[in-house]
Amino acid sequence: MIKVFLTAMFMSVMFAEKAMAEDAPITANVVQTNMDFLWTLLGAILVFFMQAGFAMVETGMTRAKNAINILMKNLMDFAVGSIVFFCVGFALMFGSSKGGIIGTDGFFLKGLIEDPWNLVFFMFQVTFAATAATIISGAVAERIKFKVYFIYSILITAVIYPIFGGWAWGSLLNGSGWLEGLGFIDFAGSTVVHSIGGWAALAGAIVLGPRIGKYGKKGEVRAIPGHNIPLAALGVFILWFGWFGFNCGSTTAASTDIALIAVNTNMAACAGAIAAMLTVWKKFGKPEIGMSLNGALAGLVGITAGCNNVSPYSAIIIGAIAGVLVVYAVLFFDQKVKIDDPVGAVSVHGVCGAWGTIAAGLFDKGGFDTHVVGVQLLGVVACFIWSFGLSYAMFKTLDKKMGIRVSRDEELEGLDVGEHGGNAYPDFGADYI
């Protein structure tokens, strides 16, 4: 007990000294640095929360019998993605590179963890990598094997996302990127994150084929409505909330720039929601909710590339066009080319990501410049070729090696039972399936 007292006394002295040290004058630069850490971490936290948003949107927009499966995919693509991006992806994206093609150092954050900036920057970037990964889960919902999705999550966060990401953003840390070298504008990732995810989702949906019952024998299209619309709406609100971190946090510095970015982000989302609602209202006679929710997301994806270099007026236009676009894109994939994408991920993230990237060139506050728009188009095309091409090859390979789709019986019964041995709503009776 005496020892305790003595130690306690010693501690008191230490604390007193610490208090005095804290009162020592510090420079404004140190405070700004601390704030940049705070802001970047806050952005990461908000973007992390988007995982909950994706989980709710995708669960709500699909059937009850597959709810556990979708939640597990969302949980695991983040968990696996974080570990894989830590080990491999971050190095390929931000490591030193010759010619801006591929990073070559920093695997397992080797040599990086000593500088806390690298850690907070990693924290921010890992949530972006996981966002790209999770976009796919909605498009391949209700029929992909869990094991395959697990493997694919590794591949996208280890290879597909980071290498392209390095082309556009590599110089943010130690690397460089050939696309950014050309002047490619993608402030927060309309292409780098959303289109990468969207085109990978397209590949997955094509290789898998449509869900049983989606298209009739005579080619008629059947709607398969989502089972829990309040959860889907909650998910969209969560995504919108997190998107402020996604776009504003991409400054990775606390500056007055965040004001314009936030206003642009919000106005585009609003315009997208309204435009999509009005489009579907006019087209089908009623303001349908699924399209309206996707309209908000479309506006958000659309403004992501240019949120820092367009005016609020342009943001409204960009968002509104995205809102109209997403409706026609969903109809195109769903009814024209008959690619079954249960939540519209390809349209929201792929198509509107491409639109947003081009729009960042078209509406650049610096004025219209054909060269700039050309580079934007180049980035959009490069993204499609890289992500769709590689993903298609990978899904095809996985399909040959192990089969990527669950059995017909399992699909009919629901993946919750077949893949996870569970039931998302056991108290509500078996009749909910």
Residue 113 engages a second copy in binding (rule: CB under 8 A): yes
Q: How far is the CB of 113 from a second copy (least distance, A)?
A: 6
How far lies 164's CA from each of 47, 180, 193, 230, 392, in Å? Answer: 20, 11, 9, 35, 16
Residue number, 64 or 203, with CB nearest to a second copy = 64
The single residue listed with the structure tokens 């089972």 is 227
Does the protein bind a second copy through residue 367 (CB under 8 A)? no
Among 277, 300, 305, 380, binds a second copy (CB under 8 A): 277
In angstroms, give the least distance from the CB of 210 to a second copy: 19
If one asks whether residue 273 binds a second copy (CB under 8 A), the answer comes out as: yes
Using an 8 Å Cβ cutoff, are 297 and 343 in contact?
no
Among 233, 297, 305, 326, binds a second copy (CB under 8 A): 233
Among 107, 178, 215, 332, binds a second copy (CB under 8 A): 178
Per CB under 8 A, contacts with a second copy among 71-100 are 71-72, 74-76, 78-80, 82-83, 86, 99-100
According to the binding rule CB under 8 A, does residue 208 interact with a second copy?
Answer: no
Residue 382 contacts a second copy per CB under 8 A: no
Residues 168, 192 contacting (CB under 8 angstroms): yes
Measured over the CA atoms of residue 291, residue 287, residue 225 and residue 236, the dihedral's sign is positive
Closest CB to a second copy among residues 140, 296:
296
- In the region spanning residues 29 to 68, those forming contacts with a second copy, defined by CB under 8 A, are 29-35, 37-39, 41-42, 44-46, 48-49, 51-52, 55-56, 59-60, 63-65, 67-68
Cβ distance to a second copy smaller for residue 142 or 350: 142
**Residue pair 266/256 in contact by the 8 Å Cβ criterion:** no
Cα–Cα nearest to 43, from 126, 109, 114, 116: 126
Pick from 132, 196, 203, 293 the residue near a second copy by CB under 8 A. 293
CB of 245 to a second copy, least distance (A): 8
Nearer to a second copy, 74 or 376 (CB): 74
- Shortest distance, position 281 Cβ to a second copy, whole Å: 10
How many residues in total does the chain contain? 433
Q: What are phi and psi of 61, to 5 degrees?
A: -90, 5
Q: Is 111 in the site for a second copy (CB under 8 A)?
A: no
Which residue, among 32, 186, 46, 178, has the nearest Cα to 117 in the 3D structure?
32
CA gap 330, 339 in Å, rounded:
10
Q: Applying CB under 8 A, which of residues 289, 331, 373, 377 lies at the interface with a second copy?
A: 289
Q: What is the DSSP letter of 341?
A: -
The residues that bridge with 144 in the sheet, in sequence order, are: 405
CA 407 to each of CA 146, 161, 415, 426, 429: distance values in angstroms, whole numbers, following the listed order: 12, 30, 10, 23, 24
Which residues is 215 bridged to in the sheet?
221
> Given the structure tokens 């002047």, which residue do they identify?
183
Give me the least distance between CB of 309 and a second copy, in Å please: 14
Considering only 104, 213, 255, 385, the residue that binds a second copy (CB under 8 A) is 255
Closest of 27, 22, 31, 25 to residue 253, by C-alpha? 31
In angstroms, give the least distance from the CB of 156 to a second copy.
Answer: 16
Please identify which residue in 88, 156, 269, 351 interacts with a second copy, judged by CB under 8 A: 269
